[in-house]
């Protein structure tokens, strides 16, 4: 076996990207006909519980808008790819490789007259995936454009897929700490509170970003926190229908009771 093969099974092809604590590689699964998959590898010293939790949560879920996982293991020997060394003992997760594209890039290629319809489809897809999570007692906690991909199906239709459940947890399971990416967090989530409706706020923030080309608020640090707590963002996009504008505005309400109460409606 070559030095680019992990555990005599996963042949590294290329890096796909990296997050705060992990790197994702495209790999060939030699035990399944060289099928291409995604291998997410935890950095040395990073919190392995996030990856372990992501695997076990996804392994219990079955939804077309969520990634399917196949394996959780540790690298048993030194492997290398393009000068990067992966040392023994590193925990990794193997999942389906989602052949998708970043949503903002996809949106740029869509004529303005079709963008509202496209965004409605993305909304339905994300809401369906969230509803599935919420039915199983989980809150995603980190919905944002970076954690989704748009996949073009054989029929030509496009579907939005969530690709990261690293912070997903049961309501209240995260203790007192805030979970998520600040620019997309609901006011009640800033102190670690909230229930499934924090995901509905994040859905609104994500849709706002896709429609407007930027998150709802543009401050940093304490300034951004104050904006989230006090300001109501204004969505002004000529191609966006009044119905979608009203939905996004409602999702971004400060009070959870003023938002839609479930991802089903």
Q: What is the pLDDT of residues 183-231, one digit of tens each?
A: 999 999 998 888 999 999 999 999 999 999 999 998 888 999 999 999 9
Task: Give the integer Cα–Cα distance in Å for 258 and 93.
Answer: 38
pLDDT for the residue 12: 94
Which residue is associated with the tokens 């938002």?
A: 259
Parts of the chain with a pLDDT under 50: 1
Residue 83: what pLDDT? 75
Residue in the block written with tokens 């309501």 = 171
3-state helix, strand, coil in the chain (%, to 5): 35, 25, 40
pLDDT of residue 104: 94
Q: Which residues are catalytic?
A: 142
Q: Which two tokens stand for residue 168?
A: 């997903």
- Residue of 48, 45, 49, 68 lying closest to 58 (CA atoms): 68
What pLDDT score was predicted for residue 265?
A: 66
Beta strands in the chain (DSSP E): 5-6, 10-18, 22-29, 35-42, 69-74, 79-81, 84-86, 91-96, 100-101, 148-152, 158-162
**Degrees to nearest 5, angle at CA 237 with 234 and 240:** 110
């Amino acid at each position: 076996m070559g030095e680019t093969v992990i555990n005599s099974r996963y042949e590294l092809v290329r890096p796909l990207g990296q997050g705060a604590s992990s790197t994702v590689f495209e790999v060939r699964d030699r035990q399944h006909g060289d099928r291409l998959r995604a291998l997410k590898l935890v950095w040395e010293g990073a919190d392995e519980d996030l990856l372990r939790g992501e695997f076990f949560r996804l392994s219990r879920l079955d939804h077309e808008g969520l990634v399917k996982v196949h394996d959780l293991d540790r690298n048993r020997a030194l492997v290398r790819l393009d000068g990067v060394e992966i040392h023994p003992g590193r925990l990794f997760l193997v999942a389906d490789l989602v052949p998708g594209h970043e949503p903002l890039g996809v949106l740029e290629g869509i004529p303005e007259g079709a963008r509202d319809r496209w965004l409605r489809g993305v909304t339905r897809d994300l809401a369906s995936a969230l509803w599935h999570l919420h039915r199983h007692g989980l809150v995603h906690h980190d919905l944002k454009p970076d954690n989704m991909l748009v996949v073009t199906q054989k029929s030509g239709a496009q579907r939005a897929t969530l690709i990261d459940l690293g912070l997903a947890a049961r309501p209240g399971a995260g203790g007192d700490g805030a979970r998520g990416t600040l620019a997309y967090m609901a006011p009640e989530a800033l102190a670690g509170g909230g229930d499934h409706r924090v995901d509905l706020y994040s859905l609104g923030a994500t849709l706002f970003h896709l429609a407007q080309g930027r998150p709802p608020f543009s401050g940093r640090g304490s300034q951004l926190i104050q904006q989230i707590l006090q300001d109501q963002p204004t969505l002004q996009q000529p191609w966006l229908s009044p119905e979608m504008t009203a939905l996004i505005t409602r999702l971004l309400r400060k009070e959870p009771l003023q938002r839609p109460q479930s991802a089903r409606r």
